[in-house]
């Protein structure tokens, strides 16, 4: 899960703390830097695979360190900070939104760690103004709620009395509620000091970035593993109860099946499975790392990964009572692959076409071959003959970005005619059918006008067939309103051939 550390560098962060016992005088920004450094040290030890970035804000925004796994680079960027003017959180949240969409996607969950002194700012752009004026305008787009799942963790560099006096607790809690993806507010316990701020950050780190250690069992074989990122507690609200479940530390393999049988099932999260080094416990109870070279130590986890990769199979694992997942080999490049765990929704029938997991068994338990003989070739389990709705390539425009992406795809292929003629008409018919389904006739007229403009902007070196196809597509698109929805726009038959 990507993490964005957003640090307030407004003038209020320069407020000094009263010196204690003639010691050194600290500013609130010094406490914030010390706390963030402690957080980064913890993540470097226990969550080395997490991508983290560092950004600062006042009335403007600046990305100090882009997403990286180099925690030394993050700590060096933390030392090179200057103070600026007033606090404008709305600007910073808008930049967080655009940065996340650009670097990752609108479906990747992330976590925002907002470090501030509790001062919400005044006037336009402040937190209070943003929450009290939630309506967008031509010159203003409200950054929250984020279009991607994002937890907001607010780390306040102030004591509880000060936070209540300036109304920070209510304002930041409302910010978390409006975003709707969860989060919490963290306050130092006791007097404001380097120690109390460090304890606040460490408490947050231990609750959020604590690694998950467990044991993978398969018969008499077992292997100590670590899951990255750490699986979160599953919570679901039903009509009369709230179900909360956590993954057991003992993962038991139930069996193996072909990848073709399980296909791409619905999952709630994916995790990298890493074997952990064996440890010895001496008589005093202290743990010492094994001095044996890890590369020469047999590991069931490595054996399982290699077997699944070669045999093109997945392993079904039980994560808890009535909760399952699957282990498989996943390659992020042509040369490197990893052992992954995908977690299903809790329940014995999380995958509809497999039925209940408790009813699955080995082939030896059946009288005949469950996969069918050479004549029938019937797969097992047998899937329903009808095509399921979620398997169809349907078009859903929930947000403006989805519609814009579909139109841009058509325009990109229009500029590459006649080479991309087949793809152009395929995407054009796909958009046309979706628009007619919801009676969005204005979209058809708008796309036709765009194609007309593309035709006029064709360079002199363009193939003659490009102009003819664009003119034909424009005409057919405008006539589509009066035609059946099942009608498809076909390419214009010409005597031209594409250039060599």
Mean of all residue pLDDT scores within the chain: 81
Contact 354, 381 (CB under 8 A): yes
Contact 268, 343 (CB under 8 A): yes
What's the Cα-to-Cα distance from 45 to each of 48, 286, 295, rounded to whole Å?
6, 19, 21
Cβ neighbours, 10 Å, residue 34: 18
Distance of CA 92 to the CA centre of its chain: 20
CA distance 500 to 359: 59
318-331 per-position pLDDT tens digit: 998 888 999 998 88
Residue 111: pLDDT over 80: yes
In the numeric block, which tokens belong to residue 3?
């993490």
Contact 325, 342 (CB under 8 A): yes
DSSP state of 296: G
Q: Which of 341, 184, 218, 207 is nearest to 274 (CA)?
A: 341
Mean pLDDT of 286-304: 64
Taking the CA atoms of residue 194, residue 196, residue 198 and residue 201 in that order, the dihedral angle to the nearest 10 degrees is: -140
418-465 per-position pLDDT tens digit: 888 888 999 999 899 888 888 888 898 999 999 999 999 888 888 888
204-257 per-position pLDDT tens digit: 988 888 888 889 998 888 888 888 888 888 888 777 778 888 888 899 998 888
Residue 149: pLDDT over 50: yes
Determine the pLDDT at residue 48.
82
Mean pLDDT of 174-187: 88
Contact 458, 468 (CB under 8 A): no
Residue 152: pLDDT over 70: yes
Mean pLDDT of 302-311: 88
Mean pLDDT of 165-194: 86
CATH architecture of residue range(s) 212-279+298-350: Beta Barrel (2.40)
Confidence tier at 287 by pLDDT (50, 70, 90): very low
Residue 276: HSE in the Cβ half-sphere, 13 Å Cα cutoff: 17
Q: What percent of the chain stands above pLDDT 90? A: 12
Give the residue, 392 or 179, on which the prediction is more confident.
Answer: 179
Q: Which of 153, 154, 87 is nearest to 121 (CA)?
A: 87
Contact 146, 100 (CB under 8 A): yes
- The predicted model scores a pTM of 0.65
Contact 3, 152 (CB under 8 A): no
The yes or no reply on domain 3-208 and CATH 3.40.50.410 is yes
């Amino acid at each position: 899960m990507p993490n964005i550390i957003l640090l307030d560098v407004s003038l209020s962060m320069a407020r000094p703390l009263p010196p204690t016992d003639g010691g050194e005088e600290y500013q609130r920004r010094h406490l914030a830097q010390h706390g963030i450094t402690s957080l980064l040290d913890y993540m470097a030890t226990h969550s080395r695979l997490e991508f983290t970035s560092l950004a600062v804000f006042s009335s403007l925004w600046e990305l100090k360190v882009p997403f990286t796994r180099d925690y030394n680079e993050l700590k060096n960027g933390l030392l090179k900070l200057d103070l600026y003017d007033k606090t404008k959180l709305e600007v910073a949240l808008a930049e967080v939104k655009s940065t996340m969409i650009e670097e990752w996607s609108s479906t990747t969950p992330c976590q925002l760690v907002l470090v501030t002194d509790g001062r919400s700012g005044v006037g336009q752009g402040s937190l209070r103004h943003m929450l009290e004026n939630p309506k967008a305008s031509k010159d203003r787009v409200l950054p929250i709620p984020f279009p991607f799942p994002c937890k907001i963790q607010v780390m306040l560099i102030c004591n509880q009395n000060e936070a209540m006096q300036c109304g920070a607790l209510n304002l930041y809690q409302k910010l978390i509620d409006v975003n709707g993806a969860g989060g919490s507010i963290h306050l130092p316990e006791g007097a404001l000091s380097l120690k109390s701020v460090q304890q606040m950050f460490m408490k947050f780190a231990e609750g959020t970035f604590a690694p998950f250690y467990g044991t993978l069992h398969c018969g008499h074989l077992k292997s100590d593993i670590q899951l990255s990122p750490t699986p979160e507690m599953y919570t679901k609200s039903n009509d009369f109860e709230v179900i909360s479940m956590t993954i057991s530390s003992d993962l038991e393999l139930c069996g193996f099946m072909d990848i073709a049988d399980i296909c791409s099932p619905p999952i709630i999260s994916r995790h990298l499975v890493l074997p952990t080094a064996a440890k010895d416990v001496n008589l005093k109870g202290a743990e010492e790392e094994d001095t044996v070279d890890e590369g020469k130590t047999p590991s069931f986890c490595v054996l399982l990964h290699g077997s699944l990769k070669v045999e093109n199979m997945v392993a079904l694992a039980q994560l808890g009572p009535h909760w399952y997942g699957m282990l498989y080999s996943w390659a992020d490049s042509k040369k490197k692959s990893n052992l992954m765990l995908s977690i299903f929704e809790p329940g014995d029938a999380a995958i509809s076409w497999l039925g209940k997991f408790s009813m699955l068994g080995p082939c030896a338990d059946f009288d005949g071959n469950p996969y069918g003989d050479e004549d029938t070739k019937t797969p097992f389990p047998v899937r329903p003959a009808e095509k399921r709705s979620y398997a169809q390539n349907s078009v859903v425009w929930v947000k403006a970005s989805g519609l814009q992406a579909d139109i841009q795809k058509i325009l990109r292929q229009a500029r590459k005619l006649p080479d991309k003629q087949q793809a152009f008409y395929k995407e054009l018919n796909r958009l046309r059918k979706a628009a007619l389904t919801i009676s969005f006739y204005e979209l058809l007229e708008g796309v036709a006008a765009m194609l007309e403009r593309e035709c006029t902007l064709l360079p002199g070196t363009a193939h003659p067939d490009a102009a003819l196809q664009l003119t034909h597509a424009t005409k057919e698109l405008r006539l589509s309103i009066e035609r059946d929805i099942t009608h498809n726009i076909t390419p214009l038959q010409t005597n031209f051939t594409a250039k060599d």
